[in-house]
Structure 1
Amino acid sequence: MPRRNSSATPPPDIAEKIVDIDVSQEMQGSFLEYAYSVIYSRALPDARDGLKPVQRRILYQMDQMGLRPDRGHVKSARVVGEVMGRLHPHGDGAIYDAMVRMAQPFALRLPMVDGHGNFGSLDDGPAASRYTEARLAAAALAMTADLDEDVVDLVPNYDNQLTQPEVLPSAIPNLLVNGASGIAVGMATNMPPHNLGEVVAAVRQLIAAPETSLDELMRFIPGPDLPEGGKIVGLEGVREAYATGRGSFRTRATTRVESITARKKGIVVTELPYMVGAERVIEKIKDAVGARKLQGVTNVQNLTDRHHGLRLVIEIKSGFNPEAVLEQLFKHTPMEESFGINNVALVDGQPRTLGLRELLQVYVAHRLEVVRRRTAYRLARATERAHLVAGLLIAIADIDEVIQVIRSSDDAETARARLMSVFELDEPQAEYILQLRLRRLTKFSRLELEAEQDELARRIQELTDILDSDERLREVVSEELAAIAAEHADPRRTVLLERPGGEAVGASAGKASGKAGSVPLEIPDDPCRVLLSGTGLVARTAEAEAPMRSGGRVAHDALTGEVPATARGHVGVVTSTGRLVRMEVIDIPGLPPTSGPPSLSGGIPLSELVALDAGEHAVGLARLEDDAAPLTLATARGTIKRVRPGDRPGNKESWTVISLEEGDRVIGALHSGDEDQLVLISSGAHLLRFSASLVRPQGRSGQGVAGMKLGDGVEVLHLAAVAEAELSAAVVVTVAGTSAALPGTTAGSAKVTPLDRYPGKGRATSGVRAQRFLRGEDALVLAWAGPEPARAVGSGGQPVELPEIDERRDGSGRPLSAPVAAVG
């Protein structure tokens, strides 16, 4: 058999199909096609509904399957199969992973899928799709609402057999609320979640005033709101991201220092940074301790459960400063993480980097278009129905002739034509009459049709007004967003701090010593002052001078108590039940040094440092030194008591400083010397001033003496102590209202009067009148006395303007612009 010549020329038909291709051009083209597919079909969300294609297809298919919140769960594998077979030309793993993320409350601020079963945690993955079940969450219904009313365009699926929405109607601003993350080719997106109520408020503001600036929008959206809470420290990166679309911020765990045993302190972690799990933190702590980067930690326990949530207890060695150890934890473990914001999303099919205002503008334009299209669709349906009802009423009015025309016609086509000719109907009306059922020929049906005709006319006019007026269209969109926020919004979980606390002191000294594990973690025991605000925040200053002398103002709040202390010392918190609770000054966050008045925006709620019982609240601060002036307490029933300094039971964390009668409570606590003047103000608008020397100091078990004589239903509101030399510089603030109104619902009237206008009286008397009530007022709801000038704040710390000084002792007050929560 002859051998075939390998160099022989192939047949002409085969040679013509061989094409020379440049490899570099082929690779470039293929890569661009791949990059395009990843960017537009997989990795980046649409700026309108905030969803990637796979997420949009999951929600749409689940809606088509009827998996609503009021129905039962179905197997996740069934959902994945339907999505993969009908809409998404990729593997089941990618679909299930996307659905799992939409069901995880720690990943999304507002989950879109209601998962039943093991959908994973921050430390572990989910169970397989055959073991879990799912249905739509309530919020997802707002994402898919009105899809059957031509509100968005439908596009073919991957095999052109079915259609799917190009974008969801998205009555929820999902992109900002739930954030997004994705890595494409040459670009990526990473957006943090936000609070639904805050975002809706900003959207409504932009709808009402399209020219609203970024600074004004940030009054509504001050920063991200992460699903697991935590704290964001340093907001400059957030502002930069809102302005340019790129920035970063640091998130910190929420912690507090507690007594693990009688001699050992511990740091309790109740919230972790975004997407950080407890097991990962424990692992990093152990690694840092093993590498001798972290000093002072003896043990870590994970006490998290379903009932109490996250609780990570980090035990501190005796003699180590918990605050300094906490700073080391922030430095060496994921208890402090950085989040890089990169707001990249698809706008008109193009990837763009968007600031906060641009993101809101895109969403507003989308919702306006959705509502406009929905209104046009409903108007067309209502107009069509009104047209048919008008024809039906004509037929019912002369039904005998209609029946005669139909019966005498040879076929339906002839009957239709004759009806159109005889009764001047058009073809749709005539066809509708031919399909009329005999039961619709009753007198009652005619009344129903006339009522329906009137309702359709009203509806058509309403829909026409919306389409003809851009202002009315915007009102509809704004009202719908308000309803969404009322149904799904919840309070903010993440605390925003302008700046972090101080760095751990002594780190450099430890390196200089050259001794491993000898890093000093104690801060200097410098003098400071502990401050308590009217809204329950506590902080300490770095200076020993009183901060109230610099204009008497504290930004965003009012001071209601202050005591001198040292950084490593202790102060007492006096509560309404007559307890004094010891509090370590080092646990209180320090305010940054400032040349002006201090701001308590760097403070923390007192409840994070002191465990209070239900219904118990702090009424003042106390010094614990033996050389302190006597502690003076006043109760609501008019009892007053001065406790001898140094009278405390050893090293107990709390003890009773006054024995209260049943139903009585402490309303104020402060230190006063014998030369001071004590001031008591009652809800009956009386003020009593007498010398503190009239009250002899007692021991802890004493019940005190009569301080102020009260009438029926009257109680003491405020206790103050003013030095004799400062009487001329002190003022009295009284706020009157009605006792029948709920606190904080009515503004009432206020009066500011110099304290020296009120004469001194004897102890156990009723004093003198401090304010005359206006019509509708029957009691004082708030009172304060202290150095001028006074500052009033609302429940959120916002300032409330007080009236000018009124020299009249018993004059009436002037109306306030807003309710007052505290004066200081």
Structure 2
Amino acid sequence: MSSDVPDSDVTPAAEVDRVRVENEMEQSYIDYAMSVIAGRALPDVRDGLKPVHRRILYAMHEMGVSSNTSHRKCSSIVGETMGDYHPHGDSPIYDTLVRMAQDFSMRYPLVDGQGNFGSMDGDPAAAMRYTEARMAPIAEEMLADIEKDTVDFQSNYDDRLTEPEVLPAKVPNLLINGSSGIAVGMSTNIPPHNFGEVVDAVVKLIDEPDCDVDDLVDTRDSRGNGTAGPIKGPDFPTGGTIVGREAVYSAYATGRGRVTVRAKYELERDEGRIVLTEIPFQENKARMVERIAEDVNEGKIEGVSDLRDESDRNGVRVVVELKRGANIDVVENQLKKHHFESTFGVINLALVDGQPKVLTLKETLEEYLAHRKEVVRRRSQYELAEAEDRAHILEGRLKALDQVDAVVDLIRNSEDRDAAKAALQGELDLEELDAEFEHLDAQTAFDFSGDQADHIVRMQLGSLTSMESAEIESEYEDLQAEIERLETILDDESELLAVIKEELQAMKAEYDDERRTNFVESDEITNEDLIPEEDVVVVITEDDYIKRMPVDRFDPQGRGGKGIIGADPKEGDRVSKVFRANTHDYLLSFTNQGQVYKLKTYEIPEMSRTARGKSAVNLIDLDDGEEITAVVNTDDFEPEESIAMVTRNGYVKRTNAEEFENILSTGIIAADLEEGDELVDVEVTDRTKDLVIATERGMTIRFDESEAREMGRNARGVGGIDLQGDDRVAGMVAADSEDDRCLLTVTRNGYGKRTRLSEYRRQSRYGKGLIDIKTDERNGPVSTVKAVGADDHLMIMSERGQIMRIRAGDVSEVGRNTKGVVVMKLEEGDRVASVDVVPESVDGEADRAEASDDGDEEEDQDEQ
């Protein structure tokens, strides 16, 4: 290709290397990554600072903005830092300055801020032109002795100035303030600690170099087992409580761990509220309150009536007011599980000799101690050199004072200062001097050094007094002692370590404070642990409203009563199901569409008798038109048992109970129904039972359950009873051959009877069955059937929400093919919705109630 540029103007490359592009990209990326790692994101293990923190503090030091000066505008500090040391944007520099001034971000703030520096609600700091800052006293300890050649300096970005590669760090900043940052392919997250505990750990390491992590960490449990090391664990600026010690120990022993931090709160039981006083570290308080409010509004947290943030400059105070009757322990557990706890992932990653390294607690302390040994050694060398120089000068002054007359004459008669200095250094022969020096004896020839001579010729006459002479001698003696001390420090490492130890203990006395973060043993408590075990009545409506009420809220009544209000369905809705359960039971809720859901009884909201209930869709994922028709308690399951199901159209199927152990939150299929059919009832069997199926027209059939073989969940089943006309199945019970209980049959119009199960002879599956009860106009169709003992109690619910509890023995025991007696007196238009049994073993002996309506006695006659 031709070029318009003359050949003479083209400078060929001196050398051209051919490289593979992937190799060049890899090396360039590694260079970039290391630049980010070492130059921005990770702290140095020695002073615990990243370059931007270090440069801000050094810029303030150079500006003279110390803890005992007035505050300076942050814009000025940021400008000096950016212009001289940190050639990046002003925003990240100011953000770093702000964080170093926040007492909720740093355990021991390095900057003393004045103005709005943000809040733990996530509010940003005011603009830098409005805020002011100066170094905190502890920051001056980070820079102490920096002028004594204690650390190496490097050129700044434009070679105009120099900056320290690391600060002397008289305080163990990496551990007391922690650090966090994200580099390329790695991150660090070091928690803050208590000043006194860290100092004690360094001192212990000095005294016992061979100690291990076990000796440095307090691993004692609630019983006092374990070692009592100086470091109890992280100490966060916002306080809180660390749950368990195992994760803390793991983090110290390996450099990595996950520490659970819990908010600190108080239970004010008398006032019915929970008061939050401390939040986990790095948690946004305002966002936490918002999330709690969202969960309350969505029904995930029940029993909360009000939520207020009353925090001010005096501290955090978030008040959770509870509804009357709410279980404060349950609400506490819900808040603790979802909002009051957070995880602090410890990654103890720092730069060691410029390379990133994950460190154990002991390694971190050893690196800091090695840094302090180097600093104290270099400082001692610097101070020794200064002391020796000063002692040399004082030696000259003392020697001059011993020959003061001769020295004064020599200086007075010298031509100029240089001549006097030369004479004092012995560079002139006194015998060759003029006659005016003849009175000086040759033995008084001087041999002062150049520094001594220079100092002597500059001495003032006032320093020749006897008092000044005594002071010089005293100072010289002190210097000799100091020189001896410094030489000992440099020659004996134990003396050097003693200096470090003394300085650390002095700073502990100055800066140590009480721990803010406490410990509690791991206390995994579920809501179930906090819910008292009690038997409850669960009511469900056709529109899928659900609630629970204690069984003992309903006193037994006599047969034929109206009952009391048990629910208040909305207009157009009706009660469809009532059943008894224990608050700790796991319930399998079978729906009319053949689905099954798993539900814990205590998750159903407890409400008053007159309450409508809560929509079941908040608890289980029901489809449109889907309603719960049967409930089975999984606590009754055994490995050899089956789940027997019957549909409205008379199909029956059995499925191994183990297939219902793992149920998704969205439910699983229990039976495959044909169009127009629906699941009616479910029973748990042990493969030795008889199934008794009852129809709405009063027919029953009893057959061995083995005639309906076990099938998978997706099967439809087999015919259980041959329904006639428009008859449909009403329910099913399971009984064995020796069962001495009765079959309770209750009709929609409130009539019912008990008949011995032995009167229902066993037949073959899919027969027409036998007549159980007459379903004429008075009785109406059969609503439900149950197997009951005479001392069992019945919970009978009407569609309009009336509920009545009676003793099963109060319902007359008669034969088959009878009409029965009044069980519950219903208002016009109301019908029996559901019946459930409270077994004698659960309820115990109850006093038998008197009959409430003597007018029904004539109904007690059996009608064949």
Is TM (by shorter chain) over 0.5? Answer: yes
Which whole-Å CA distance do the structure 1 matches of 2:249 and 2:19 have between them? Answer: 51
Q: Which residue of 1 aligns with 2:60?
A: 62
Q: Shift in Å at residue 22 of structure 1?
A: 5.2
Alignment-mate amino acid for residue 425 of structure 1: F
Alignment-mate amino acid for residue 372 of structure 2: R
1:455 equivalent to 2:478? Answer: yes
Q: Shift in Å at residue 27 of structure 1?
A: 3.1
1:201 equivalent to 2:200? Answer: yes
Alignment-mate amino acid for residue 354 of structure 1: L
Q: Which residue of 1 aligns with 2:143?
A: 144
1:147-166 alignment to 2 at 5 Å? Answer: 147-166=146-165
Do the aligned partners of 2:194 and 2:235 also contact (CA within 8 Å) in 1?
yes
Alignment-mate amino acid for residue 182 of structure 2: I
1:109 equivalent to 2:107? Answer: yes
Alignment-mate amino acid for residue 455 of structure 1: D
Q: Which residue of 2 aligns with 1:223?
A: 233
Q: Residue 505 of structure 1: SS of its match in structure 2?
A: helix
Q: Shift in Å at residue 453 of structure 1?
A: 1.1
* Identity across the alignment (%): 48
Which whole-Å CA distance do the structure 1 matches of 2:103 and 2:149 have between them? Answer: 32
Select which of 493, 513, 531 maps to 1:470: 493
Which whole-Å CA distance do the structure 2 matches of 1:213 and 1:441 have between them? Answer: 61
1:575-654 alignment to 2 at 5 Å? Answer: none
Cα distance per residue 1:58-83 (max 9 Å; x no partner): 11111222222222111010011111
Q: Shift in Å at residue 260 of structure 1?
A: 7.3
Note closer, same or farther for the CA distance 1:513–1:498 as it changes in structure 2 (3 Å cut): farther
Alignment-mate amino acid for residue 38 of structure 1: V
Select which of 486, 507, 519 maps to 1:496: 519
Q: Which residue of 1 aligns with 2:268?
A: 258
Q: Which residue of 2 aligns with 1:799?
A: none
Tell me whether 187-196 or 492-501 shows the greater mean CA deviation. Answer: 492-501
Which whole-Å CA distance do the structure 2 matches of 1:8 and 1:415 have between them? Answer: 77
Alignment-mate amino acid for residue 175 of structure 2: L
Which whole-Å CA distance do the structure 1 matches of 2:98 and 2:200 have between them? Answer: 29
Which whole-Å CA distance do the structure 2 matches of 1:339 and 1:520 have between them? Answer: 39
Q: Residue 401 of structure 1: SS of its match in structure 2?
A: helix
Do the aligned partners of 2:143 and 2:168 also contact (CA within 8 Å) in 1?
yes
Q: Which residue of 2 aligns with 1:85?
A: 83
RMSD, aligned α-carbons: 2.6
Cα distance per residue 1:416-466 (max 9 Å; x no partner): 222111222222211221222232222222111111111111222222222
1:423-572 alignment to 2 at 5 Å? Answer: 423-505=446-528
Alignment-mate amino acid for residue 266 of structure 1: R
Q: Shift in Å at residue 192 of structure 1?
A: 0.7
Q: Residue 57 of structure 1: SS of its match in structure 2?
A: helix
1:380 equivalent to 2:379? Answer: no
Q: Which residue of 2 aligns with 1:174?
A: 173
Q: Shift in Å at residue 154 of structure 1?
A: 1.5
Do the aligned partners of 1:87 and 1:158 also contact (CA within 8 Å) in 2?
yes
Q: Residue 169 of structure 2: SS of its match in structure 1?
A: coil
Q: Shift in Å at residue 361 of structure 1?
A: 0.6
Q: Which residue of 2 aligns with 1:133?
A: 132
Which whole-Å CA distance do the structure 1 matches of 2:352 and 2:117 have between them? Answer: 32
Q: Shift in Å at residue 7 of structure 1?
A: 6.6
Select which of 390, 396, 399 maps to 2:395: 390
Q: Which residue of 2 aligns with 1:325?
A: 331
Q: Shift in Å at residue 243 of structure 1?
A: 0.5
Do the aligned partners of 1:295 and 1:517 also contact (CA within 8 Å) in 2?
no
Note closer, same or farther for the CA distance 1:302–1:380 as it changes in structure 2 (3 Å cut): same
Q: Which residue of 2 aligns with 1:269?
A: 276
Do the aligned partners of 1:507 and 1:520 also contact (CA within 8 Å) in 2?
no
Count of matched residue positions in the alignment of Structure 1 and Structure 2: 511
Cα distance per residue 1:627-668 (max 9 Å; x no partner): xxxxxxxxxxxxxxxxxxxxxxxxxxxxxxxxxxxxxxxxxx
1:114-125 alignment to 2 at 5 Å? Answer: 114-123=112-121, 124-125=123-124
Cα distance per residue 1:478-522 (max 9 Å; x no partner): 111111111111111111123135222179999x99999979999
Q: Shift in Å at residue 375 of structure 1?
A: 1.6
TM-score normalised to structure 1 length: 0.59
Alignment-mate amino acid for residue 309 of structure 2: N
Cα distance per residue 1:244-300 (max 9 Å; x no partner): 101111111111111575xxx111100110011321111111222233322222221
Do the aligned partners of 2:540 and 2:547 also contact (CA within 8 Å) in 1?
no
Note closer, same or farther for the CA distance 1:518–1:354 as it changes in structure 2 (3 Å cut): farther
1:276-425 alignment to 2 at 5 Å? Answer: 276-307=283-314, 309-333=315-339, 335-421=340-426, 422-425=445-448
Note closer, same or farther for the CA distance 1:111–1:485 as it changes in structure 2 (3 Å cut): same
Alignment-mate amino acid for residue 42 of structure 2: L
Do the aligned partners of 1:228 and 1:274 also contact (CA within 8 Å) in 2?
yes
1:649-660 alignment to 2 at 5 Å? Answer: none
Note closer, same or farther for the CA distance 1:323–1:390 as it changes in structure 2 (3 Å cut): same
Note closer, same or farther for the CA distance 1:233–1:513 as it changes in structure 2 (3 Å cut): farther
Select which of 77, 98, 101 maps to 1:100: 98
5+ residue gaps, structure 2? 218-228, 427-444, 551-864
Which whole-Å CA distance do the structure 2 matches of 1:345 and 1:76 have between them? Answer: 29
Alignment-mate amino acid for residue 475 of structure 2: E
Q: Residue 527 of structure 2: SS of its match in structure 1?
A: coil
5+ residue gaps, structure 1? 1-5, 523-824
Which whole-Å CA distance do the structure 2 matches of 1:371 and 1:519 have between them? Answer: 73
